[in-house]
Amino acid sequence: MASRKRKKFTIKYRKVRKKIGTKKIHIVIVSVLMICILTATLLCIGHFFNNKTTRDFVVTNTTISNISEANNTTIASNITIDNQTTQPNQTIFVKPKPKLVIIIDDVTFERQLDDILSIPLKITPSFLPPTTKTNFSDKLAKRTEFHMVHLPLEAMNFKSPEESTLLVSDSYDVILQKLRMLKIKFPHAIFYNNHTGSKFTADFEAMERLFKAMDEMGLIFVDSKTTADTKAPKIAKKEGKKLLQRDVFLDNVIEKEAIKEQILLAVMKAKEQNFAIAIGHPHKETIAALKEFAKECDEVEVVYIKDL
């Protein structure tokens, strides 16, 4: 069957060849091939431009989207921090302010606490333990958001020590018992700083007993540094603890301008170390200086000592 079809095709081909000639047939075949090639080429070119247009559209839309996002970011992030304007698409890292702790020691009377609470800053009052004459400091402490205990320690020269003063000669059990009594009076106080104590804090063994007793009670010692010979840093280092200690006394000179200079020194210390501890007393000059400082306190954050 197939052979018959081939014979018919051959016969027809020969007839056509005789009629139009072999040369013309070849021209027709070549022309058809050229037309096919040209058509394929045009299709390829059309396909290429079509894809390019699509890519340009995608890129253009992406660019517009990115510009839109950049503009939004500019609006959101084009703010000023520390006198520096941030650039669009920058990640903003706001550096926290240095922290400054201000402790007011010797708080005993209601008038003193009222003065402290009138300062629009987080001032830390440190209460002297109650005595037979002034037996209400623990009651005053209940009015505060946060407070400390001002722990009396033996001094080198002190004519009238507080009734509850810890002595260098006190045993561990005696120290522990006195701390337990204070814990009953001030159940929420964790931080204790020393009142006087130039003799006690300079005695290594006495301070070791105090640290051990405070550890047992869950208390934290803050060194007021009433003597340069304090052994608190050595004991803290020995026990692998971080010691909190005073950096600046505010009112060794009880004059408002002098106190303001000491406050500025405390601010400088805080900026150098990221935090600082300043200690003052409830003198009217100290209160006045702190109130003035509160109006322009923008370089540091005044915090309670528990927030360090």
pLDDT tens-digit map of 154-169: 999 877 889 989 999 9
Residue 232 lies in a domain: yes
CATH number at residue 204: 3.20.20.370
Mean pLDDT of 196-211: 98
Q: Is the pLDDT of residue 103 over 90?
A: yes
Residue 90 lies in a domain: no
Instruction: Give the per-residue pLDDT at 4.
Output: 62
Same domain, 163 and 45: no
Same domain, 143 and 286: yes
Same domain, 60 and 13: yes
pLDDT tens-digit map of 2-53: 566 555 555 655 655 555 555 566 676 767 677 778 777 777 676 666 654 4
Q: Which of 69-83, 113-127, 173-187, 269-283 has the lowest mean pLDDT?
A: 69-83
Instruction: Give the per-residue pLDDT at 64.
Output: 37
Rounded distance between C-alpha atoms, residue 103 and residue 305, angstroms: 8
Same domain, 73 and 107: no
**Could you tell me if 302 and 102 are in contact, meaning their C-beta atoms sit under 8 angstroms apart?**
yes
CB-based contacts of 287, cutoff 8 Å, min separation 6:
115, 116, 118, 119
pLDDT tens-digit map of 227-273: 999 999 999 999 999 999 999 999 999 999 999 999 999 999 999 99
Same domain, 164 and 288: yes
Mean pLDDT of 268-294: 98
Instruction: Give the per-residue pLDDT at 151.
Output: 98
Mean pLDDT of 183-201: 98
Instruction: Give the per-residue pLDDT at 249.
Output: 98
| Residue 27, domain extent | 2-85
pTM of the model: 0.71
Better pLDDT: 298 or 57: 298
Residue 13 lies in a domain: yes
Residue 91 lies in a domain: no
Tokens, residue 59: 């890129």
Same domain, 75 and 141: no
Q: Domains in the chain: how many in total?
A: 2
Residue 205 lies in a domain: yes
Same domain, 103 and 74: no
Kindly write down the DSSP assignment for every residue of 85-123, as one continuous string: EPPTTPPP--PPPPEEEEEEEEE-SHHHHHHHHTSSS--
Mean pLDDT of the chain: 85
Q: Which residue is listed with tokens 């106190």?
A: 259
